[in-house]
Amino acid sequence: MDISKTTIEEVSNLLSKGEISSVELAKKCLGRIDEVEKKIDAFITVDHEGALRQAQESDIRRKQGKTLSKLDGVPISIKDLFCQKDIETTAGSNILKGFVPPYDATVVKKIKEAGMVILGKNNLDAFAHGSSTENSDFKTTKNPWDLSRVPGGSSGGSAAAVASGEVFASLGTDTGGSIRQPASLCSVVGLKPTYGRVSRYGVIAMASSLDVVGPIAKTTSDVALMLEVIAGKDDLDATTLDEVVPHYSEEIGKSIKGKKIAIPKEYFASGMDEDVEKLIKDAVDKIKYLGAEIVEVSMPYTKYALETYYIIQPAEVSSNLSRYDGIKYGYSSIFNDRTQSLDNLYETTRKEGFGSEAKRRIMLGTYVLSAGYYDAYYKKALKLRTLVRKDFDEVFKKADAIITPVSPTPAFKIGEKSDNPVQMYLSDIYTVPINPAGVPAISTPAGFVNREGKKLPVGIQVIAPHLCESRLLNISYQFEKVRNFDNNYPQL
């Protein structure tokens, strides 16, 4: 069995038939990690011993007829932003190096309760600040399709691990595109659920009003299966929605004939790579072939979304990262100099522990929240956020879903945008508006463009109204059936 091409759905069937054991699966994945990890650098931590123990426990349950779920025994990974009991959790930052949580994040607890096997923690831009996974304090993850290029970010380690066949799925987070953009650049499926659909308890916060937890997998069906496990109300997260979790995997497969799909003209403005635009328009034609009605719409406040996001997000970053002071947990400069004053301890710890991107966002956020600038920037951004959300509300009065690009370009070279933060931020121009609006969106592979003799993936983005994950999953699933390319996985 070639695990790099095998889906969760297929593995689940093999496990239920007894044609393979969870231990065998875990060993195959760990073997794959040993084989390609030096090239990819998708993991910060690989838990060999813990993974095999979890797999053994799954096999015992299966023999006793006590299987916890249809995904019991399936090996996955999680972004190193989720607290996992007794496993180092760094958020990709030196300031949390050595931090071992005494508890599991709610989504990690749900994954364990479903019997899934956690192989390890994936690399990310530190504190999820980035679009390339170059901002990790530990390593730079490479795109499996071209090792000289980025996998996207901040969940680049998760997307690269799935694309390279190291795991069957991974959990990531999405604050402005951090699941969807790497999914697009690595030719896997990535879902950003409705804000509040999945608990954030135990997830190291970047921007609390924007952060969303979601799955990355090889197919839409696999993403649906993962969402069934992690979605739901959580008393430990007051922002979660008290809504019944549908059986997403059973609701896909319905015809989309007659569905109205909106194409916003603002998402096809100048700046998009010509080959990317051609693939997106080809994907729209295929959606039309399936019987959907394509309607052009205008979303006039889209042009303000990026600016709005990069005021609100750094402001929340400034607030959330103030807790890392060298006193409570994580890195502390006190071990280097026990005679320094408290103020010096704070200053030195943060100077040594935070990377340059975290410092940049802390300073930006502190500035827009400061006296004299709060009304001019932050308060105005909150008003614009309402208008961005209104754009989506108006479109969804006349359309069932929206289709847009995910990224204006295919994966760029490692180091290409490192010295130009604004250019890096523009990588998320098509994904950012969705988070302030709080609506769900998915990135699905749409094809490849050729660059320097390499195939580079491109994805399409499907957006739906609040809590309409079933709708966008179904559109994504139907598109998978008619796209005219073989989504083989990269040769490493």
Q: What are the DSSP calls for 112-126, one per residue?
A: HHTT-EEEEEE--SG
Alpha helices, DSSP H only, in 45-155? 48-63, 106-113
> CA of 438: how far to CAs of 211, 301, 443, 492, in Å?
10, 15, 16, 37
Token output for 75: 């090996």
Nearest to 175 by CA among 108, 136, 125: 125
- How many whole angstroms separate alpha carbon 327 and alpha carbon 308? 33
The single residue of 12, 58, 77, 154 carrying the catalytic annotation is 154
Sign for the pseudo-dihedral over CA of 340, 344, 350, 356: negative
- How many whole angstroms separate alpha carbon 404 and alpha carbon 203? 29
| Whether 318 is catalytic | no
**CA end-to-end distance (rounded Å), the chain:** 17
Asked whether the beta carbons of 293 and 259 are under 8 A apart, the reply is: yes
Supply the DSSP symbol for 480: H
Backbone angles phi, psi at 454, to 5 degrees: -115, 145
Token output for 163: 């694309």
Residue for token pair 């071209």: 146
- How many whole angstroms separate alpha carbon 229 and alpha carbon 110? 6
The single residue of 79, 109, 121, 192 carrying the catalytic annotation is 79
Q: Which residues, 6 or more positions from 481, have their beta carbon under 8 angstroms from its beta carbon? A: none
| Whether 260 is catalytic | no
Token output for 138: 């530990």
The single residue of 178, 249, 318, 427 carrying the catalytic annotation is 178
Q: Which residues, 6 or more positions from 371, have their beta carbon under 8 angstroms from its beta carbon? A: none
Residue for token pair 């399709």: 145
Q: What angle do CA 252, 258, 260 make, to 5 degrees?
A: 90
Asked whether the beta carbons of 410 and 451 are under 8 A apart, the reply is: yes
| Whether 178 is catalytic | yes
Catalytic residues: 79, 154, 178
